[in-house]
Amino acid sequence: MVTESLNAFEIAQQQIHEAGKYIDLDPALEAIIKEPKRVLIVSFPVKMDDGTTKVFQGIRSQHNDAIGPCKGGIRFHPDVTVDEVKALSMWMTFKCGVVGLPYGGGKGGVICNPKEMSQGELERVARGFIEAIAAIVGPDKDIPAPDVYTNAQVMAWMMDTYSRIAGSNQFGVITGKPIIVGGSLGRNEATAQGCIYTIIKAAEKIGLNLQGATVAIQGYGNAGYIAARLLHDLGCKLVAVSDSRGAVYSEDGVDPSHLLEHKQKTGSCVEFGTCSLITGEDLLEMDVDILVPAALENVITSKNAANIKAKIVAEAANGPTTPDADKVLFENGVMVIPDILANAGGVTVSYFEWVQNLMNYYWTKEEVNTKLKALMFDAFDKTYITSQEHKVDMRTAAYINSITRLSEAIKARGLV
Ligand code: NAD
């Protein structure tokens, strides 16, 4: 059984083992899937604003490319470790697998603190890192994207440096770019939009009417705010919201756009209108229909899982629920839409961006959303059917489906 004392890489390996039991996973296949195919660790020098030169370390992990090129973000953070990046690359394989994308998983990280860096230093780190890993990435090999503390601008710098090395424009090397240099319409809203599509499906399955359904959202950034707005548009009532400074509650519900204006003005969601102040822990345990963790990892744990009252937990964030908590939620009949399904809209529209780059033919936002909806609905249905067949939670079902798909590709290629 998976426990809260394991590190991310060990958890990912355990998850493979646990899911593998339901499909009698061949030990040779399990051994292949449990390790990344390639991990490149690089050091590169960067000229800092004060004239000194600092050496940065970065990592790129490519988990598996049996189904297609690797795909996954690059994060800039002081706490990046090799094991974390390896685990994140494995989870990307399973996320791509759940939605049926022709990708394996990749992930990258640079150990740095962007909060202490100027724009110029950030740019030089971005360019330095992509140059250092240029030999193993590319439109047909491994396609990075934004992650923690990297954004569209960082992607543009990386695409530019890679294109200079290649000697021609290579928009397809990276996704999450600004629209003007090959980005896709709908990419900014994609994670939240995909999450909403899975909530619609989950509500259908448990017979929950979204009109008037109550919602609590942890985190009011890109994923949290847009999810709030889209749920509001569907007729849900947003009763509680939190950010890093605190949480607010209103029985009558809050207007997501007004709350965003308040956050933009004051820097936080707290002290909004007549809302009462609650704690972040209270928010998670509130008696609501839908809880959307859209901020941090490991917030639903063995300590609070028994107190979760939401009927649906839609994991917009990566890794908000620990494996121990998963068990409790399943026993209590909470429908958890696991991160690798609930937030797969982001990588799905990244895939659309890459397809558009390769075709050099660009879609309208409506086309993007229609295609996203079809893939998310299909992914939810397939995961739900597997969960019913094996009598397991949706996360285990998602792993079962992804691992089955990957195993078939590895076998078809004759690698075992
Ligand atoms: P973001 O930085 O835009 O927003 C994060 C929000 O979380 C902020 O409002 C911040 O105040 C809040 N927060 C921080 N600490 C908190 C705390 N202790 N309690 C409550 N709120 C807190 O980030 P984002 O892009 O919205 O990403 C959020 C989560 O969604 C992450 O786990 C990320 O990995 C995941 N995700 C995002 C995308 C995407 O496309 N944006 C894609 C896949 C997964």
Q: What is the pLDDT of residues 258-274, one digit of tens each?
A: 999 999 999 999 999 99
The total of other beta-carbon atoms located within 10 Å of residue 16's CB is 22
Lining residues, ligand 1, CB within 6 Å: 191, 218-224, 242-244, 280, 294-296, 316-318, 343, 346
Tokens of 90: 């494995």
From 76, 220, 340, the mutation candidate for ligand 1 (largest count of ligand atoms within 8 A of CB) is 220
CA distance 71 to 145: 8
CA distance 117 to 310: 40
Tokens of 339: 């991160």
Residue 220 alpha carbon, nearest atom of ligand 1: 9
Structure confidence at residue 7 (pLDDT): 85
Using alpha carbons, select from 233, 229, 249 the residue that is nearest to residue 294: 229
Q: Looking at the predicted structure, is the pLDDT value of residue 215 above 80?
A: yes
CA distance 330 to 95: 21
Structure confidence at residue 323 (pLDDT): 87
pLDDT single digits (tens) 217-270: 999 999 999 999 999 999 999 999 999 999 999 999 999 999 999 999 999 999
Task: Tell me the pLDDT band of 76, cut-offs 50, 70 and 90.
Answer: very high
Bridge partner list, 146? 74
Structure confidence at residue 287 (pLDDT): 98
Structure confidence at residue 241 (pLDDT): 97
The total of other beta-carbon atoms located within 10 Å of residue 175's CB is 29
Task: Tell me the pLDDT band of 8, cut-offs 50, 70 and 90.
Answer: confident
Residue 95 catalytic? Answer: no
Segment 137-163 shows an average pLDDT of 97
Structure confidence at residue 6 (pLDDT): 77
Task: Tell me the pLDDT band of 140, cut-offs 50, 70 and 90.
Answer: very high
CA 153 and chain centroid, separation: 19
* Å from CA of 163 to ligand 1 middle: 30
pTM here is: 0.96
Using alpha carbons, select from 224, 304, 237, 240 the residue that is nearest to residue 277: 240
Question: CB–CB of 192/230 below 8 Å?
Answer: yes
Question: CB–CB of 324/4 below 8 Å?
Answer: yes
Instruction: State how far the alpha carbon of 76 is from the alpha carbons of 105, 108, 113, 347, in Å.
Output: 18, 9, 7, 19
Tokens of 96: 């791509």
Residue 296 alpha carbon, nearest atom of ligand 1: 32
Q: Looking at the predicted structure, is the pLDDT value of residue 5 above 90?
A: no
Nearest CA residue ID for atom 25, ligand 1: 222
Q: Looking at the predicted structure, is the pLDDT value of residue 4 above 80?
A: no
Task: Tell me the pLDDT band of 178, cut-offs 50, 70 and 90.
Answer: very high
Task: Tell me the pLDDT band of 297, cut-offs 50, 70 and 90.
Answer: confident
Q: Among positive and negative, which fits the CA dihedral 131, 137, 140, 145?
A: negative
Segment 41-61 shows an average pLDDT of 98
CA distance 397 to 23: 11
Segment 111-130 shows an average pLDDT of 97
Residue among 95, 107, 177, 201 flagged as catalytic: 107
Angle between helix 394-412 and 365-390 (nearest 10): 100
Q: Among positive and negative, which fits the CA dihedral 331, 335, 337, 339?
A: negative
Tokens of 212: 């008037």
Task: Tell me the pLDDT band of 3, cut-offs 50, 70 and 90.
Answer: low
Place of tokens 């609070």: 304
Question: In this structure, what DSSP letter does residue 138 have?
Answer: B
